[in-house]
Amino acid sequence: MTHTFHPTVLREYDIRGIIGETLGPDDARAIGRGFGTMLGEAGGKRVAVGYDGRVSSPMLEHALVEGLTASGMDVVRVGMGPTPMLYYAEASAEDVDGGIQITGSHNPANYNGFKMVFQGRPFFGADIQELGRRGAAGEWADGNGSVEDRDVMDAYVAKMLSALDGIEPAVLSSMRIGWDAGNGAAGPALEKLTAALPGEHHLLYTEVDGNFPNHHPDPTVEANLEDLRALVSAKSLDFGVAFDGDGDRIGAIDGQGRVIWGDQLLMIYAEDLLKRRSGGTIIADVKASRALFDHVAKCGGTPLMWKTGHSLIKSKMKEVSSPLAGEMSGHVFFADEYYGFDDALYAGVRLIAAAARLGQSVTELRGAMPAMVNTPELRFQVDEERKFAAIGEIAARIAASDAVADTTDGVRVTTDDGWWLLRASNTQDVLVARAESESQAGLDRLVAQIDEQLALSGLERGPQAGH
């Protein structure tokens, strides 16, 4: 028996497709067969499986479990919850060797997909391509594994609460916070978490609804934070926290309604962490502000710029023993007192802890940051076979000039005006551009340099591509 996947679903960091068009139960079964076979060959025996709140998730979970048990794996079903709860189930249990979460993340309601952990490390890139190869060849082990249900939510919430250990209770109990679960999978865990947290908490949209009736669950799009902003304003709250559809990416606003972007959150987390353990290497992706890298250095840490992509960042953290990393997209990874995976609920608790320990409100911490002028993430369509070649041409031209450039992931050029970035997306046929300056005039000059480099490669910054 063999299985061929639709060519668009086996992606760099995860597996994702459109239900009924490019992804269905046969794919889920084949993923279970392939993953179970690979884990068995590596000496693993037990896989934790969870799923998000999408309408199609229970169907895919059922088929995935069939595939895993048919290849000899024992399955621990942790039920519906955020992706980090599945990561927790895998990381905290000695008898679990791998994990798979069924989730469409922040994609539209008709999408779904899979995020995977293999013996404590991210399963991505060549691993995912190997699933496709094994499916096409029918290279699957045969077996008859068992299935058990395991409730991990209470233990998961208790672990997150431990981030507040040692902090004066009176400081915590004075905080007033808004939370927006966006009808995503984080809702039930958020209700349990906030019920146990000190302070006053106001919750939006914790009912799980895979149709996302209130707003799309992507907290990096400012329009999706409007309801949270209105709540914080109406109740005069200290700050607000929002989640994406599967709870692994955080968005935040301060008490004045200003967005605290991913790199700005990392500035707060880094300052708090480096006060307690100096000299750590703090990782951020190439889209992050120069202000972040400067701030990490000022606080006694070692800033490291790395490639965009949660799996790539997690791998780099292990390599350099980094206690903290983050991306502009809202993935934040804590490995100081936590497991090193991206968990937006835990990141919310750590924001409370940071404000308490630093003795400043989140609004004060946000207000102290340097005022930078930057573009949003500009994404534009480029043919798949052209995108990496174009970046290579641009890198070669920059290298031949006297410009200061970093080529960790695409090309990031630093000038007196600030910096600009061009990189190829690993998951879509788009180029991504971003620029940052201290003035609008400087930003205009940087964007002109981006346009000039694109033109020299026969491209233009035309229609914007969506996520």
Residues labelled catalytic: 105
Q: What gap in Å lies between CA 276 and CA 314, rounded to an integer?
A: 22
Total residues found in the chain within this entry:
467
Residue 167 amino acid letter: I
- Cβ atoms 283, 318 nearer than 8 A: no
- Cβ atoms 380, 431 nearer than 8 A: yes
- Cβ atoms 326, 284 nearer than 8 A: yes
Q: What gap in Å lies between CA 98 and CA 121, rounded to an integer?
A: 9
